[in-house]
Structure 1
């Protein structure tokens, strides 16, 4: 009785090792496919990398060539009570009372590279980048659109719309968590979100130059009462 069981255990062990090896090879192959610049192979098989690596293990290598990061993306939040919510959604929101919910965490992540700040800010940071340009796979469409290719502009806009909607849902959760946690004794019903992009200062103007800022209104959202409070927010004022 022991001999067949021993052989069964050996077969199962070999099968487990082979399956693990194949899984690792497939994982790293999809990772390379995901981070590679756009090429014919990626155009044909990129959907598999997006469904796996892009969904569960997203990578962003834009710090390096050929398209290094040239701006900082910041999420601004304004918590609104029922009385503060404008009846006409087309009316501009007040310029005061906005809170920067991302810069402090970015700075802490830069100061403490081995801390958990990098993990805390990554969902927000990736969502901000997704909202801005849709992801590395859309870079060629952005470039072609800037050169006057109308079909590239249409394809980019079609692909960008659902990605921005997904990013906006993440922003709403972050904004709702901030409002509920930073002001625990106040009652809010909505959260206004604003996206701010700060351009990099050229090295030649590093001493006296100032970065250019551009704001984009993300909209007014109902406060999410179900989001889990992370325990990292407090009101600072901007």
Structure 2
């Protein structure tokens, strides 16, 4: 009886794992494959699944690898003396400390958090799509006259990414201002070219940073502070 029970558990586990792998690869295929009616109809589901757990893009690889650095800065409004005065903090660099911590402890939650943050910042700059997808969408819009629908979809994606970064910023703010009553958060994204190889030893060389500042918004209540 015990052996039969163990066999049933093993079979159920193998069946569940096989089913999960089938669904997983089906979602990956829809997300990464050419646009088609099925992928469009399930876009919200596949984007949430892949974006949440397997966020990446093809800019890491040739022929056009990424040559720019992305950063996230956050500042907060909180109640000051006697909670009668609102104080605005300085800008905090969220990205650089996480990079240093991740380099010191590779096998830690910071590796995942760093990739999530940088991935969403990258999405804000490129719109969440790779270059080939944009070319295909442009071709489809000209052929089928659906430019308005495609633009509306891109704007919706951008709004979703922006809301996610506000949540990320709120989690950071709660950690840094644990003893204060935070009312609002604001974030700023930064993009800069990588230091040229010829300037790698020049301590006085500085790259130009292009910043985009987003509006103040109320701190997100249902997030926990970053570790």
Instruction: Check 1:212–1:158 CA distance in 2 against 1; reply closer, same or farther (3 A cut).
Output: farther
Does structure 1 residue 71 correspond to structure 2 residue 55? no
1:51 Cα shift?
2.1
TM-score normalised by structure 2 residue count:
0.69
- Contact in 2 for aligned 1:102/1:121 (Cα 8 Å): yes
Does structure 1 residue 28 correspond to structure 2 residue 21? no
Distance in 2, matches of 1:81 and 1:70, equals 37
- Contact in 2 for aligned 1:74/1:100 (Cα 8 Å): yes
Instruction: Check 1:123–1:222 CA distance in 2 against 1; reply closer, same or farther (3 A cut).
Output: same
Aligned to 2:109: 116
1:220 Cα shift?
0.6
Aligned to 1:159: 153
1:144 Cα shift?
8.8
Instruction: Check 1:143–1:76 CA distance in 2 against 1; reply closer, same or farther (3 A cut).
Output: farther
Distance in 2, matches of 1:106 and 1:195, equals 16
Instruction: Check 1:105–1:35 CA distance in 2 against 1; reply closer, same or farther (3 A cut).
Output: farther
1:105 Cα shift?
0.9
Report Cα offsets for 1:108-127 as digits up to 9, x if no partner: 33454333321122332222
Alignment RMSD, CA only?
A: 3.8
Instruction: Check 1:45–1:113 CA distance in 2 against 1; reply closer, same or farther (3 A cut).
Output: farther
| Counterpart pick for 2:223 among 216, 223, 227 | 227
Instruction: Check 1:44–1:70 CA distance in 2 against 1; reply closer, same or farther (3 A cut).
Output: farther
Specify the SS of the correspondent of 2:182: coil
Aligned to 1:90: none
| Counterpart pick for 1:60 among 56, 60, 64 | 56
Specify the SS of the correspondent of 1:122: helix
1:199 Cα shift?
2.1
Instruction: Check 1:219–1:23 CA distance in 2 against 1; reply closer, same or farther (3 A cut).
Output: same
Specify the SS of the correspondent of 1:51: helix
In the alignment of these two chains, the number of paired residues is 209
- Contact in 2 for aligned 1:35/1:59 (Cα 8 Å): no
Instruction: Check 1:31–1:226 CA distance in 2 against 1; reply closer, same or farther (3 A cut).
Output: closer
Mapping of 1:93-172 within 5 angstroms? 97-137=90-130, 140-141=133-134, 157-172=151-166
Distance in 1, matches of 2:146 and 2:7, equals 56
Distance in 2, matches of 1:225 and 1:26, equals 33
TM-score normalised by structure 1 residue count:
0.66
